[in-house]
């Protein structure tokens, strides 16, 4: 799914982005636990999480995840935003809950990382 499509479906606010809006994001992963991200995720995926903290960005950088979406309109602190910018991770905020965000993306054909 294209990045611009993810942004549109989630009514997301763009906090950081250095990526082409046409970039293709292959998979999705929805969790608040970072080891779960590290265990199941693939590179080039979007992480949907309620953990609006630096840890989510660090983990995404380690796991080559390109796009991170914080749910329920949670605003990260400046350290988190700075880290995302430095690591070239696209950081979005959606007003939706994790459930709704998953639903909207799944409905349009995005799938979770295969094992």
CA 77 to chain centre: 16
Q: For residues 38-77, which are near another protein according to CB under 8 A? A: 38-40, 43, 48-51, 53-56, 58-59, 61-64, 72
List the one residue out of 98, 50, 106, 101 whose CA is nearest residue 76.
50
Least CB distance from residue 14 to another protein, whole Å?
A: 22
* Number of separate helices (H) and strands (E) present in the chain: 5, 6
List the one residue out of 32, 83, 93 whose CA is nearest residue 62.
83
Q: For residues 15-34, which are near another protein according to CB under 8 A? A: 28-34
Q: What are the structure tokens assigned to 92, written together?
A: 């979005």
Asked if 88 interacts with another protein (CB under 8 A), we say no
Where along the sequence are the contacts to another protein (CB under 8 A)?
Answer: 28-36, 38-40, 43, 48-51, 53-56, 58-59, 61-64, 72, 79, 97-100, 102-107, 111-113
């Amino acid at each position: 799914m294209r990045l611009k499509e993810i942004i549109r479906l989630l009514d997301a606010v763009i906090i950081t982005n250095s990526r082409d809006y046409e970039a293709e994001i292959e998979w999705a992963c929805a969790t608040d636990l970072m080891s779960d991200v590290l265990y199941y995720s693939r590179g080039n995926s979007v992480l949907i999480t309620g953990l609006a903290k630096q840890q989510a960005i660090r983990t995404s950088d380690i796991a080559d995840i390109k796009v991170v979406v914080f749910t329920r309109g949670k605003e990260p602190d400046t350290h988190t935003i700075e880290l995302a910018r430095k690591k070239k991770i696209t950081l979005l905020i959606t007003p939706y809950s994790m459930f709704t965000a998953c639903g909207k993306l799944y409905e349009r054909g995005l799938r979770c990382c295969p094992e």
